Amino acid sequence: MQVVSEVLLQRTRAETVAGILPAFLEHYPSWHALSEARGEELEQFLVPIGLWRRRARSLLALARKLASEGFVFPLGERELLGWPAVGPYVAAAVRVFVHGKPAALIDEGVARLLGRAYECRTRVDIRADKALRELAEGICAGPNSRELNWAVLDVVAKHCRPRVPSCDGCPFAVDCMYIRKAK
């Protein structure tokens, strides 16, 4: 159910999602349970994190699609991207957490961190930023991709916050352009 968390984490802070996740997973412990959920009930669980109607629709559509495919996610990114509620971030999450394949999860936080540290951003739209994707894949899409993605997401949450980063102890500090310029 890691993929469910990743779907919920889009456009939402980890602390906010963490507030509902235990109860959510207790009520919907599997994709099968989620595929049989009633829309209104699902919405009620999602109200505290916002965008509940849209999220409920997306999750339900994804769970039902998965049910129709025998609860097996496709391996290929292109095919995954054709599924409901699956963009590049969720497709990468499926590859990493379901199939154990290397991929890079790139959300706003990861883009912010890599943009600050390496000044790699070439596009505002994360999806269109090839340089960002290549850099993220160079860091996260190797052996131990799951742990590497978790580590980077953890650094974003602990250190590279949107307004004022907390750079002490950040493992990217040694190469970080943001710090160099601030000195």
Distance CA 24, CA 127 (A): 29
Residue from the set 60, 104, 140, 170 that interacts with ligand SF4 by CB under 6 A:
170
Distance CA 135, CA 143 (A): 15
* Shortest spacing between CB 169 and ligand SF4, in angstroms: 9
- If binding means CB under 6 A, how many residues of this protein chain bind ligand SF4? 13
Q: Closest by alpha carbon to 132, among 145, 148, 121?
A: 121
Distance CA 73, CA 182 (A): 45
Question: Contacts with ligand SF4 in 112-151 (CB under 6 A)?
Answer: 113, 116-117
* Shortest spacing between CB 156 and ligand SF4, in angstroms: 8
CA atoms within 13 A on the CB side of 3: 27
Question: Contacts with ligand SF4 in 54-113 (CB under 6 A)?
Answer: 113
Helix and strand numbers (H, E) in the chain are: 11, 0
Question: Contacts with ligand SF4 in 147-166 (CB under 6 A)?
Answer: 159-160, 165
Residue from the set 24, 28, 45, 172 that interacts with ligand SF4 by CB under 6 A:
172
Closest CB to ligand SF4 among residues 2, 166:
166
Q: Give the pair of three-digit tokens for residue 12.
A: 């939402």
Q: Which residues contact ligand SF4 by CB under 6 A?
A: 113, 116-117, 159-160, 165, 167, 170, 172-173, 176, 178-179
